[in-house]
């Protein structure tokens, strides 16, 4: 998984645990794609302060992940689902319609 996708997942899981200021900086940077200078101008602080706030928020998100592991669990579940799907697809030739129903249900989940 690339860094941007990871940061996005971390924010989705743990963003609400950040202070409102750190959340705002993260949203402007990651969702609005503003530069550090643009965020500094919008928030009335220095570019260095924005950088520090962003890095601090990212570090906090990583700390939450280290303790709670929700992103790791999601990745493990997705890997397991892909493996199950692959095994079912391989078995489809011998089991036919039964596998079709299982694949349909797996896709729904």
Torsion angle of C-alpha atoms 13, 18, 24, 25, degrees rounded to 10:
-100
Neighbours of 39 (CB within 10 A): 23
Question: Same structural domain for residues 49 and 81?
Answer: no
Instruction: Provide the CATH number for the domain around residue 18.
Output: 1.10.10.10
Distance between start and end Cα atoms, the chain: 22
Domains contained in the chain, number: 2
Return mean pLDDT, the chain: 89
Average pLDDT over residues 45-73: 96
On whether both 18 and 50 belong to a single domain, the answer is: yes
pLDDT of 16 strictly over 90 = yes
Q: Summarize the confidence of residues 19-44 as an average pLDDT.
A: 94
Q: Is 6 exposed, middle or buried (0-12, 13-18, 19+ CB in 10 A)?
A: middle
Asked if 87 and 50 sit in the same domain, the reply is no
Are residues 31 and 84 both part of a single domain?
no
Domain that residue 98 falls in: 73-108
What pLDDT does 25 receive? 95
Question: In what helix (H) or strand (E) does residue 34 lie, and over which residues does it extend?
Answer: none
93 and 47 share one domain: no
Average pLDDT in the 63-89 region? 90
Condensed to tens digits (0 to 9), the pLDDT of residues 78-106 reads 998 888 888 877 776 676 666 777 777 77
């Amino acid at each position: 998984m690339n860094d941007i996708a990871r940061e996005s997942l971390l924010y989705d899981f743990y963003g609400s645990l950040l202070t409102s200021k750190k959340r705002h900086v993260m949203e402007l940077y990651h969702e609005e794609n503003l530069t550090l200078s643009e965020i500094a101008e919008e928030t009335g602080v220095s570019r260095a302060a924005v950088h520090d706030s962003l890095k601090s928020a990212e570090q906090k998100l990583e700390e939450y992940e280290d303790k709670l592991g929700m992103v790791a669990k999601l990745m493990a579940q997705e890997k397991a689902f892909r493996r199950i799907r692959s095994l079912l697809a391989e078995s489809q030739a011998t089991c036919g319609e039964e596998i079709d129903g299982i694949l349909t249900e797996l896709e729904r989940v």
